[in-house]
Structure 1
Amino acid sequence: MAASSGVERLPPLDAIIAWRYSSFLFLFRTTQPVSALVGRFQHGLDRLCEQLPWLSGNLHSTGDTSLGLKLRWNTNERRPAVVDRGSIPLAYEALATDGFPPSSIPDHVWPTLLAFDSLPPGAGLPVLELTVFGFGDNQGVGLCFCKHHSVMDAPGVDQLLRIWAKCISDVPTISKDPTPAFSPRVWMPDALSTEINATSALHLNALLTLHPEFYTTDPVPQLTTLPVAATKMIHLPLSRLNSLKSRVAKHMQVRHTTNTLLTAVLWSAITRARLQHTPSLATSPTLLLTVANGRRHLPVSAPPYFGNLLSFCGAELPISAVTATGGGESSFDAALAAVCDAVAASTARSRASWRPWAEMHSLVDKVGGYCRLRLRHDPFTGRGFLVTSWANLGMYGVDFGAGLGRPEAVRVRATGADGLCFVMPRRRSEAGEEVLEVLLGLTSETFDALEEDKMWRWLVG
């Protein structure tokens, strides 16, 4: 592999993302030995890094007053390696029968991930860390894919996997041009650049008014002890959601998407459950954060965008509006329709144009760095509820070649954060009942109360 080096200061849309790793697990049904698969994965990764050399890089603090990050790479110094973690006693068939719960995967098979405060002076955090492990019955393998969130979001991973899979299968992915069109990690869409020129003139207070999901000073005392949360994978039959969607549609002026309905159902049910064990929540409004993907505004012919292109959307309602369940089915459906309206309204601007992304870009510039900007309802503090939907990502359609094929399950590492929800990539079913998989991070008290919720019990079947 030819040597390559470079330095890139992360732009504001990357800096706005939390400085944490996010970790995916891809599970394959195969009888091939782990030792052989490690070589295949590594071969593909080496070819991938030839095209995208920044994958070999490390993140460093800029060391200036902006408290920013820079990405530095030199393929002569470090190249990412796929590490063989051996096998675990658990049988793949047993895991499949249980629905592949992330909590069943032992911690030691995951890469060892560090944080900036644990690094020696001058050291950086790798962009990628990967491991592979097998199972006791030799019927499957797991691929742990960990990337730093400041460098790449989940839709970026989705695009990266497709190129990596072709590299593993030795399918040509680039021309002989030494600078292929998709080698940059990020690039500026013309329409977004135009919007940034307009928003750069806005005052900081005006930008914060447009984005109440952020704040620059703490509005409430910070928690010294975070709630202890558990993580569970919830399987929701699509037929139940479609039935509820038909009922609720009678109370809507505009028909909403299944994703909007699912978000409203989650917000409503979890808020009701929290209220059962913490009645004092009734005195404050409830806030919801969702995540919008800006790639919907890119032209179909645009090259891949691997960096962060996400926008946060906030919705706020009185507790009574979100938790209304009395008065019979019709009253419940009408109340849920109103929650759907609030969810849809919160994302309307992000669906319309690049403007929210331009505003966030200017907001980070004006506050002087990500560390001076916080999410008002950060799920890692146990106060909020954040829904990230990956339902439309095509990870299940990525074919890694002979002997592996497509992943049978896609999971993320359990986080232990209270109020964090991931709608997992949707796996289209050719036969049988199709389900939507939702990974929930909640306290044990909230999970217990949720299991007693009448609507929730009906929904999960």
Structure 2
Amino acid sequence: MKSFNLDIIGQPPHLHIYTQLCLCYSLPNDSDATRQAAADALSRGLKTLAQRIPWTAGRIIHEPSNEAGNSGIYKIVPWHDAPPFVIRDLRGDPSAPKMEVLQQRNFPMELLDEGLVAPYMTIPGGTAGAKMDEPTAVFAVQMNHIEGGIFLTIVSQHQVMDLAGQMQVMRMLDRACRGEEIPEEEVEIANRDRSEIIPPVADVEAEPVEQLSRQTVKPAPPLSAEPVSSVWASFSFSKASLAALKATALKTATTQKISTDDALTAFIWQSITCARYKRLRHEPNTTCTLGRAVDSRRYLDIPPSYPGLLNNMVYHTHSIQETIDMPLGVFASELRTAVDPGTSQIGRYTRALAALLDRTPNKGLISMGANINPSQDFMLSSWAGADCYGLDFGMGLGLPVAVRRPRFYPVEGLGYLSPKHPTGEIVLAVCLREDDMQALRGDTEWTRHAVWVG
């Protein structure tokens, strides 16, 4: 491999970040031999993965442009013979959690800090933000030894792949660790030239102007005089709670079908807006926006096993009062219409976004969250469908008992739905300013369905 192109959607510099997943494995029969065997399986699998999919062992570099206002190009270049694999023994570290405590508390986000358990921070360089010219790994794994268990924190560079792409790489790694062949079709799809993945847009005049306007950076408003303190927290929704939410939504739904994810997303967004209402009630007609991340593959007839970056976002904007007053099923139906293949515009939106990026020299001017106001808007990514609970990586430890997003630098107005547990539970990780979080935790309708984890 000499170098490897990124998807055009991966060129904006703000995507120079990492997506992290922490898979937690219990060790009821602990021994040094068991732990060593697990590490050996991962090491062998990572080398095999790189032999079949060489770019997974590469690094991202930035080639700046001499042209004013041009953000340059990011690409993958060779680096090692396998993705970075860090082994960290935390059993003697007083700051490290113990498996028994984690299981008792349902694996709270506050006990899984990225600085402790992840090989790369979400924002490279720490809180100072990404360094534009700093080479970074495409894919990396950290094995954390704690008392009573092992954590695997698996990270991917977001310019290279979205969560769906990361899951595909993790599935291929799982096969490699267990000594199974990676299907040739998947190898071919993974190694395709990414410059030809998204079909070209046919007519610039027909591009969705409003959608692209949401993704084009506008002059920033004046900064607030007082800094805002935001915090992460996680909440659990049981299978029974999710069923109850969907049943409630179906009573007022305006479409024939809605998913559990639609009902849950609508409930989360309405609850957060209610929690913010005390702070924002002097302007109830001010609009607020939900940005919902979507996987564009199926709308573009791209194989689901394609491990690149094909995320986009759909936006739902109403006044604050409308957001609160709208029946749950009406809003859930609006969410369903925006993503249903029969009615969705996501394919068109994604092709137009790719075309806009292709003709814009400064890719930093394009961002899916460009005009999101974190004080009153919210962006949510659902990973509920990611089948992490079926991955054992040939380590001999069984399947993970929990999968979480580690805690990282506070980003107000951001949330993730963790992969669904085999029991049907879904855990929400959400970042809000402290007063809003307290209001959310005190909302009786919220606490009827959601259990605070921490």
Q: TM (normalized to structure 1)?
A: 0.84
Partners of 1:103 and 1:121 in 2: how far apart?
29
8 Å CA contact 2:295, 2:311 repeated in 1: yes
8 Å CA contact 1:377, 1:384 repeated in 2: no
Q: Is the partner of 1:7 in helix, strand or coil?
A: coil
Whether 1:372 and 2:365 are equivalent positions in the alignment is: yes
Q: Which residue, 8, 12, 15 being the options, matches 2:11? A: 15
Partners of 1:286 and 1:121 in 2: how far apart?
32
8 Å CA contact 1:378, 1:384 repeated in 2: no
CA deviations over 1:323-345 (Å, ceiling 9, x no partner)? 12xxxxxxxxx622332233334
8 Å CA contact 2:41, 2:393 repeated in 1: no
Alignment-derived partner of residue 213 in structure 1: 214
Alignment-derived partner of residue 396 in structure 2: 403
Whether 1:417 and 2:375 are equivalent positions in the alignment is: no
Alignment-derived partner of residue 250 in structure 1: 251
Deviation, structure 1 residue 347: 3.4
Alignment-derived partner of residue 108 in structure 1: 116
Cα RMSD after superposing both structures: 3.1
Deviation, structure 1 residue 401: 2.3
Alignment-derived partner of residue 161 in structure 1: 170
CA deviations over 1:2-27 (Å, ceiling 9, x no partner)? xxx32133232222572211221111
Which has the larger displacement, 350-359 or 437-446?
A: 350-359
Whether 1:454 and 2:444 are equivalent positions in the alignment is: yes
8 Å CA contact 1:127, 1:148 repeated in 2: yes
Partners of 2:86 and 2:324 in 1: how far apart?
47
Partners of 2:349 and 2:8 in 1: how far apart?
13
Q: Which residue, 110, 117, 138 being the options, matches 1:127? A: 138
8 Å CA contact 2:178, 2:393 repeated in 1: yes
CA deviations over 1:31-74 (Å, ceiling 9, x no partner)? 35444432221111011001111112121222124414332322
* Cα distance change of structure 1 residues 222 and 362 upon mapping to structure 2, 3 Å threshold: farther
8 Å CA contact 1:418, 1:443 repeated in 2: yes
Percent of aligned positions that are identical: 19
Deviation, structure 1 residue 213: 2.5
* Cα distance change of structure 1 residues 63 and 377 upon mapping to structure 2, 3 Å threshold: closer
* Cα distance change of structure 1 residues 380 and 249 upon mapping to structure 2, 3 Å threshold: closer
8 Å CA contact 1:379, 1:418 repeated in 2: no
Whether 1:144 and 2:153 are equivalent positions in the alignment is: yes
8 Å CA contact 2:273, 2:376 repeated in 1: no
Alignment-derived partner of residue 267 in structure 1: 269
* Cα distance change of structure 1 residues 147 and 379 upon mapping to structure 2, 3 Å threshold: farther
Letter of the 2:222 counterpart: P
Alignment-derived partner of residue 443 in structure 1: 433
8 Å CA contact 2:216, 2:370 repeated in 1: no
Alignment of 1:347-358 (within 5 A): 347-348=339-340, 351=344, 354-358=347-351
Partners of 1:182 and 1:259 in 2: how far apart?
29
Whether 1:198 and 2:202 are equivalent positions in the alignment is: yes
Whether 1:335 and 2:339 are equivalent positions in the alignment is: no
* Cα distance change of structure 1 residues 357 and 456 upon mapping to structure 2, 3 Å threshold: same
8 Å CA contact 1:185, 1:307 repeated in 2: no
Q: Is the partner of 2:188 in helix, strand or coil?
A: coil
8 Å CA contact 2:6, 2:76 repeated in 1: no
Deviation, structure 1 residue 105: 2.5
* Cα distance change of structure 1 residues 414 and 458 upon mapping to structure 2, 3 Å threshold: same
Q: Is the partner of 1:387 in helix, strand or coil?
A: strand
Q: TM (normalized to structure 2)?
A: 0.85
Deviation, structure 1 residue 155: 0.7
Partners of 1:180 and 1:460 in 2: how far apart?
41
* Cα distance change of structure 1 residues 298 and 50 upon mapping to structure 2, 3 Å threshold: farther
Q: Which runs of 5+ in 2 are unaligned?
A: none
Partners of 1:423 and 1:378 in 2: how far apart?
22
Alignment of 1:238-317 (within 5 A): 238-254=239-255, 255-280=257-282, 282-297=284-299, 302=303, 304-317=305-318
Q: Is the partner of 1:142 in helix, strand or coil?
A: strand
Whether 1:95 and 2:102 are equivalent positions in the alignment is: yes
* Cα distance change of structure 1 residues 169 and 264 upon mapping to structure 2, 3 Å threshold: same
Whether 1:25 and 2:22 are equivalent positions in the alignment is: yes
Alignment of 1:46-125 (within 5 A): 46-64=47-65, 65=67, 66-75=70-79, 79-88=82-91, 89=94, 90-106=97-113, 107-113=115-121, 114-115=124-125, 123-125=134-136
8 Å CA contact 1:236, 1:436 repeated in 2: yes
Letter of the 1:251 counterpart: T
* Cα distance change of structure 1 residues 335 and 219 upon mapping to structure 2, 3 Å threshold: farther
Deviation, structure 1 residue 370: 2.4
* Cα distance change of structure 1 residues 44 and 197 upon mapping to structure 2, 3 Å threshold: same
Partners of 2:218 and 2:298 in 1: how far apart?
32
Q: Is the partner of 1:357 in helix, strand or coil?
A: helix
Which has the larger displacement, 286-295 or 222-231?
A: 222-231
* Cα distance change of structure 1 residues 180 and 343 upon mapping to structure 2, 3 Å threshold: closer
Whether 1:6 and 2:2 are equivalent positions in the alignment is: yes
Partners of 1:152 and 1:224 in 2: how far apart?
37
Q: Is the partner of 2:24 in helix, strand or coil?
A: strand
* Cα distance change of structure 1 residues 147 and 96 upon mapping to structure 2, 3 Å threshold: same
CA deviations over 1:289-329 (Å, ceiling 9, x no partner)? 001112334669x47211111111011011111112xxxxx
Letter of the 2:87 counterpart: D
Q: Is the partner of 2:328 in helix, strand or coil?
A: helix
